[in-house]
Amino acid sequence: MPLVQVHLRAGKDAPYRQALLDGIYRAMRETFNVPEGDEFMTLTEHDAANFRNGGSYLGIPRSDDLVIIRITANNTRSLEQKKALYAAITKTLGEHPGVRPEDVFVSLVEVPKENWSMGLGQAPYA
């Protein structure tokens, strides 16, 4: 049950934004055991004054096309699955819509399974 939040600078067209969401979802399905239909995602655009990045932090030259992806998920995946997810997202977004590998920033936030309520005031994973 990942919850995905994508942040980028404003100005990309709707097909580009949709390709980001589609690519991330496909990568999660391929590497993170995400079932069909488990798709809870938001995308937020920020104007230049409200979107900054560490231009070359850790020796990675980022551009204004940086895409920040925050994934909140159950703490049930192995290190190998996490690495596979990062690689798959980067590869998929590179293919379409054409995001440079240097501009794919992923933050995975892991939570206990009981920390979810997806409706009806119930905790289905508790």
pLDDT higher than threshold 90 for residue 124? no
Residues annotated catalytic, as ranges: 2
For residue 118, the model assigns a pLDDT of 82
DSSP track, 37-49: T--EEEEEEE-GG
pLDDT tens-place string over residues 8-18: 999 999 999 99
CB 6 within 8 A of CB 43: yes
In a domain, 83, yes or no: yes
In a domain, 43, yes or no: yes
* Domain range for 48: 3-114
pLDDT (average), residues 12-30: 98
Q: 59: burial class by Cβ within 10 Å (0-12, 13-18, 19+)?
A: exposed
CB atoms within 10 A of CB 66: 20
In a domain, 122, yes or no: no
Take residue 119 and report the two structure tokens written for it: 């409706």
Measured CA to CA in angstroms, residue 57 lies from 11, 53, 60, 63, 124 at distances of: 24, 9, 6, 12, 40
When pLDDT is cut at 50, 70 and 90, the band that residue 54 belongs to is: confident
Take residue 102 and report the two structure tokens written for it: 């240097």
pLDDT higher than threshold 90 for residue 1? no
pTM of the model: 0.94
pLDDT (average), residues 30-47: 96
In a domain, 121, yes or no: no
pLDDT tens-place string over residues 68-112: 999 999 999 999 999 999 999 999 999 999 999 999 999 999 999
Which tops the pLDDT comparison, 116 or 73? 73
In a domain, 45, yes or no: yes
pLDDT higher than threshold 90 for residue 116? no
In a domain, 119, yes or no: no
CATH code for the domain of 65: 3.30.429.10
In a domain, 123, yes or no: no
pLDDT, averaged across the chain: 96
- What are the φ and ψ backbone dihedral angles of 35, each rounded to 5 degrees? -75, 160
Domain count, the chain: 1
